[in-house]
Amino acid sequence: MYNIKLILEYDGTSYHGWQKQPGFLTIQEVIERNLYSLVKEEIKVTAAGRTDAGVHAKGQVINFITSTSIPCFAIKYALNSRLPKDIRVKKAERVPLDFNARKSALSRLYRYIIYNSVFHSPFYRNFTWHIPFPLKIDKMSKACQLLIGRYDFSSFQSQGSPTFSSIREIKKFVLFKKGKFIIAYIKADSFLYKMVRNMMGTLIEVGKGKIPFSEINSILEAKNRRFAGPTTAPPQGLYLVRVNYK
């Protein structure tokens, strides 16, 4: 038996997220279906992150156990010839049998992109959150710094999270403006359900001047979603950029 690790990138616009769900088209379903057509055996894949509907990936990591002797380079090219154009395998390699894309991960890096202009560009409508008014970038950046560390992030967790603990460690959180784009990078050991999108929604309230950046500590201490910004940022601005391992 072999353990195969794949690094994927995909445009999540047309999919109902990563995880298989009856009646919905998902990334996992498409990957497993095409793997079956290639190796002629039922395949169950494990992903580093279960991206939501509409969320994209530049470096999603998955693994699966198989008895196939097809070389990894051939798996990569054969899968890419079968997959739809909005999903691609960037890398394929054999890894130790105890490697697990989710459990072996040390951290995940996400990116969120805002298109900050009066009118939204049709070219970026599926890949950014459109904010048509000016934002106080310096205040938003200061708020990001207050979120770095190991805390209970219950205030940024949406209902439906399957986890037993809401304690996470944010290792990096930077935000800057480049032209019409506001770009944030968030790195943590792992994330709660819609945690990044809820934090970005709160940062917009900071940028509008409705929430002082100094209130971030109070929001964390409240451990209650109602104390954070009311808006959950839309999924199309979010990207899983990289998963880090030993």
**Annotated domain spans of the chain:** 2-95, 107-244
Question: Three-state DSSP class for 107?
Answer: strand
pLDDT at 16: 97
CATH code that applies to domain 107-244: 3.30.70.660
pLDDT at 240: 98
Pairing between β-strand 107-116 and β-strand 238-244 as defined by DSSP bridges: antiparallel
pLDDT at 159: 79
- Please name the fold of domain 2-95: Alpha-Beta Plaits (3.30.70)
Is 138 one of the annotated active-site residues of the chain?
no
pLDDT at 143: 98
Do the domains 2-95 and 107-244 sit in the same CATH topology, yes or no? yes
Looking at the chain, the number of H-run helices and the number of E-run strands are 5, 10
Nearest to 238 by CA among 193, 171, 180, 178: 193
Of these residues, 52, 138, 152, 189, which one is catalytic? Answer: 52
Rounded CA separation 15/53 (Å):
6
Angstrom distances, CA of residue 180 to CA of 15, 122, 191, 198:
27, 14, 28, 22
pLDDT at 164: 80
Mean pLDDT by 10 residues, the chain (246 residues): 97 97 96 96 96 97 96 96 98 97 98 97 97 97 98 91 84 98 97 97 98 96 94 98 96
